[in-house]
Amino acid sequence: MAQYIFDGTLRAYICRECWDAVGEAKILLYRHRSDQRVEDLVAERAKRTFTVLSAEEVAKKQGSLLATAMTDADGNFRVELGENQDYSGEAFEIDVLLTTVKGADPDKKREPVQCTLTSLQPEWKEEKEYMVAAPWRHNIAARYWCYLLELWDVWVICGRVVAIDTGTPLQGMKVRAYDRDWLQDDLLGEDTTTTGGVFHIYYTSATFKRTPFSPFINLELTSGPDVYFEVEDSGGDVVLDEQPSEGRLPGRENVGHCFCVTLEVGVEAPPYDSPWFTHVGEFHILWDIDATTGKTRWAVNGVGGTDWGFFHHTKLEGFCPKRHPVTDDPLYYRFVFVDPVLDTF
């Protein structure tokens, strides 16, 4: 019997523009049961198949467990299937078991949560002595992930730091988030921006509910913090120093468990000599699209599939300089496409 290798990556959206790795979690593969319509489940969009399972629902599935694997800190995992599992290439159901989430207080325990993600029929191809499929990438929708974070009392601020004049993402910036309070302002946390100017700040409600009298008296009456920011460059100079009053403005007041923001700072950034597109719609250009064919490698968020192309109104995401970095002349862009019928440019 052939040996099958199933590689995957599990991530979660915090909002439309921001995501993070789920972290260390347990992936469980299940055979489909006799009362399930397998073809319908495989065809269904993943956003509609996500389900938080009760203890009774988990118990009913135990006899169908096929294999398990642990993700690493980046959400990557590998499952090997074959004779020991009596597996021969059929579709399976994918669950995730969370015993904690990133940012959770390790001293506060709660019961693990198991969720059904989707059903999948991998397109297996023979490679040497193994059967392999395109790596499976799955993004948990923001509304589901933020609900799961809430179960662990985890709050997250995800954002980008960009140059105010050009929109250039800035790496190496230290971002601090504060909660505007009546008695004292709380530091929610800090992080340093990575590639793309991205930062993540995780905290719990204890961070913004504390007072000078804590833990005996906590006076935070609203359900979320009122957020404002400070940004330092790599040399320690403050390049953004928001006033505490900005935490009382609409969009910053009483934010929820998942909050996304773009911070514009007045610093000079090295210009890009060429466009830097990162996504075509839902698809990341480097990860999800084959550079040779220009077609998709797999479905993303239930959209598309293997060897799909793009047509009609195509949404590009990323950075396009508006002016030439040397002459400062306005820039215009042209795009080359292939006619799918005539196969001509």
pLDDT of residue 82: 87
**Integer Cα distance of 218 and 181 in angstroms:** 12
Residue 16 neighbours by CB distance under 10 Å: 9
Same domain, 225 and 303: no
CB atoms inside a 10 Å sphere around CB 99: 14
- Quick one: 295 and 257 in the same domain? no
**Contacts by 77-80 with C-beta closer than 8 Å and gap 24+?**
77/7, 77/8, 77/9, 77/10, 77/27, 78/5, 78/6, 78/7, 78/8, 79/5, 79/6, 79/8, 79/27, 79/29, 80/3, 80/4, 80/5, 80/6
The percent of residues above 90 in pLDDT, for the chain, comes to 53
Instruction: Tell me the residue range of the domain where 129 lies.
Output: 3-151
Least confident piece of the model among 135-144, 214-223, 335-344: 214-223
Choosing from 90, 124, 151, the residue where a domain stops is 151
Final residue before a domain boundary, out of 236, 265, 294: 265
* 108 and 58 in a common domain: yes
Question: 137 with 158, same domain?
Answer: no
Pairing of strands 113-120, 76-81: unpaired
Same-domain check for residues 334 and 246: no
The model's pLDDT over 259-314, given as tens digits with 9 standing for 90+, comes to: 999 999 987 655 555 566 778 887 877 778 877 777 888 777 667 778 888 776 77
Q: Both 145 and 165 in a single domain? A: no
Q: Are residues 54 and 81 in the same domain?
A: yes
Residue-wise pLDDT tens digits, 211-270:
554 454 455 555 789 999 999 998 889 999 999 999 999 999 999 999 999 999 987 655
One domain for residues 121 and 136: yes
Q: Which residue has the higher pLDDT, 290 or 51?
A: 51
Mean pLDDT of 70-97: 93
CATH number at residue 190: 2.60.40
Q: What is the per-residue pLDDT for 274?
A: 58
Say which amino acid occupies 36: Q
* Predicted pLDDT at 338: 67
Indicate whether 257 and 178 sit together in one domain: yes
pLDDT at 204: 94
User: Amino acid letter at 116?
Assistant: T
Please state, as a whole number, how many other Cβ atoms lie within 10 Å of the Cβ of residue 300.
21
**Shared-domain flag, residues 123 and 208:** no
pLDDT in the model for residue 344? 56
Please state the domain count of the chain: 3
178 with 306, same domain: the answer is: no
For a pLDDT cut of 70, what percent of the chain falls above it?
A: 85
Model confidence band, residue 315 (pLDDT cutoffs 50, 70, 90): confident
Mean pLDDT of the chain: 86
> Is pLDDT larger for residue 128 or for residue 69?
69
158: CB partners within 8 A, 6+ apart: 14, 15, 18, 19, 20, 198, 199, 200, 201, 258, 259, 260, 261
DSSP state of 294: -
pLDDT of residue 214: 47
Identify the residue with better confidence: 167 or 341.
Answer: 167
From 12, 138, 160, 5, select the one nearest 78 (Cα to Cα): 5
- pLDDT above 80: residue 95: yes
The residue behind tokens 């953004």 is: 240
Are the CB atoms for 64 and 36 separated by under 8 Å? no
3-state secondary structure of 58: helix
Task: Tell whether 99 and 211 lie within a shared domain.
Answer: no
What is d(CA 274, CA 147) in angstroms, rounded to the nearest whole number?
A: 39
| pLDDT band, very low/low/confident/very high, at 59 (cuts 50, 70, 90) | very high
Asked which of 265, 290, 314 is the last residue of a domain, the reply is 265
pTM (2 d.p.): 0.74
Question: If pLDDT is split at 50, 70 and 90, which confidence band does 54 have?
Answer: very high
Checking DSSP bridges between strand 3-13 and strand 136-140, what pairing results, if any? Answer: parallel
| Residue 52, C-beta contacts closer than 8 angstroms, at least 6 positions apart | 113, 114, 115, 147, 148
Confidence class of residue 343 from pLDDT cuts 50, 70 and 90?
Answer: low
Predicted local distance difference test score (pLDDT) of residue 251: 92
